[in-house]
Amino acid sequence: MSNLDIHAAVTELGSWQDETYQWLHQHPELSMSETETCNFIEKQLQDFGYQTEIIGGGVVGILRNGTGKTTLFRADMDGLPVREETGLPYASTITRRDRDGNEVPVMHACGHDVHITAGLGAARVLAAHRDSWSGTHIALFQPGEETAEGAKSMVAAGLVDKIPRPDVAFGQHVLTGPMPTGAVGTHVGAILSTGASLKITLHGKGSHGSMPHMGIDPVVLASTIVMRLQTIVSREIDPFQMAVVTVGSVQAGTKSNIIPERATLLVNIRAYDVAVREHLLTAIKRIVNAECVAAGSPKPAEFELYDSYPLTANDPQVTKKVTEAFLAHFGAERVGDCGEVPASEDFSTIPDAFGIPYCYWGLGGFRDDDPKFPNHNPKFAPVMQPTLATGIEAVLAAVMAWLGKSEQE
């Protein structure tokens, strides 16, 4: 057991928790444009006594405190182009310009403001209680999680060579379910799915709507592809494996009496196994190419892979140790197995770049009797307390399992 009274130390943070969270919630920024957020975080870390550096659009704070292990906690920073409808007194009214120059509303609709507050809160407690631990703690705040760019950007900017090599990495995510606020959930192995999106451009031959025989209709082609793609999961994937293929967008044409030249499909996939992911991608391309041949397309379809997320698979030994730390701190009634979550993350890109094990866990954000709105919903609004305190305490419990002086004796 750690000799740091985690609950008391977090209680000492007082109103700082809510004030920090509310500022972040009111100032969301779009992916890979988190300049204001970075400045806020860096100033806080410097005030706590951390050595800081901006790397690949993210902020890294390093606190060295004698000999021992090195831990890394990562929090994501970006908001979403969503107009907030929570009605909260601290609701976001911010608009920002996206990459296409459009003015869009922005909201922390996925809880990244909770993650930042937890990472900063844990960093502050560790700085204030150096007599309770020994080693090095790295507080990492990553951009661009929502577009799967941020972790890659930090690694490409030399993260591995610029900071101490951690022994272990941690991450967490506030969730609508399956745990109520005040609870945490771990899971051994795959906890978040691998995911990717495909933009598929189909080519036809334009014609008048009254003369379909003189054209090649990409709308009909797109329709046959959409239906055929549904057979991949139902007829090609082992029923005991999880796989999802979603066509989220079909775009073609401008008028009812014009057969257009092209159609575009946006397809998303999810899986808990890398081999299944590759099967899905291969099958999608096979089906699209075959249907294009069958339709007599004038040229092959074009495929663009984007928003590609790795599998998040927790190390068994690290997860066991984190779970034991959670049980010791929170008690069995507040710790559970959150199971596999079908959402995707790019967190694992960072520990994978270092070749180190990691544990990623879920954090409950809603009371049992509260209306439930999922992540990315305009009404997504985790309960501030005890969600924030629990998130900070969870980070500290995990970190102290490696850095606590009593752990090293």
Q: Do the annotations mark residue 110 as ligand-binding?
A: yes
CA-nearest of 373, 363, 349 to 147 is 349
Parallel/antiparallel/unpaired status of strands 262-271 and 243-252: antiparallel
146 annotated to a ligand binding site? yes
CA dihedral defined by 19, 24, 27, 28, rounded to 10 degrees? Answer: -160
Q: Which residues contact 137 (CB under 8 A, 6 or more apart)?
A: 62, 63, 65, 70, 71, 72, 73, 123, 126, 399, 403
Compute how many other C-beta atoms are within 10 angstroms of the C-beta atom of residue 321.
18
Neighbours of 186 (CB within 10 A): 26
Using the 8-state DSSP alphabet, how is residue 289 labeled?
H
3-state secondary structure at position 274: helix
Give the span between the Cα atoms of 295 and 230, in whole angstroms.
19
* Torsion of Cα atoms, 157 then 274 then 304 then 147, to 10°: -50
123, containing H or E segment: helix 112-128
Known binding residue 38? Answer is no
Alpha carbons within 13 A on the beta-carbon side of 99: 7
Estimate to the nearest angstrom the gap between the alpha carbon of 324 and the chain centroid.
Answer: 25
d(CA 59, CA 51): 10
R_g of the chain, CA atoms, integer Å: 23
- Determine whether the annotation assigns residue 173 to a binding site: yes
Is the peptide bond preceding residue 239 cis, with omega within 30 degrees of 0?
no
Q: What is the dihedral of CA 353, 355, 356, 357, to 10 degrees?
A: 100
Is 333 one of the annotated binding-site residues? Answer: no
Burial 7-28 (b: 16+ CB within 10 A, else e): eebbeebeeebbebbbebbbbb
> Is 397:329 a contact under the CB 8 Å cutoff?
yes
Distance of CA 368 to the CA centre of its chain: 24
Known binding positions: 110, 112, 146, 173, 376
Annotated binding site for Mn(2+): 110, 112, 146, 173, 376
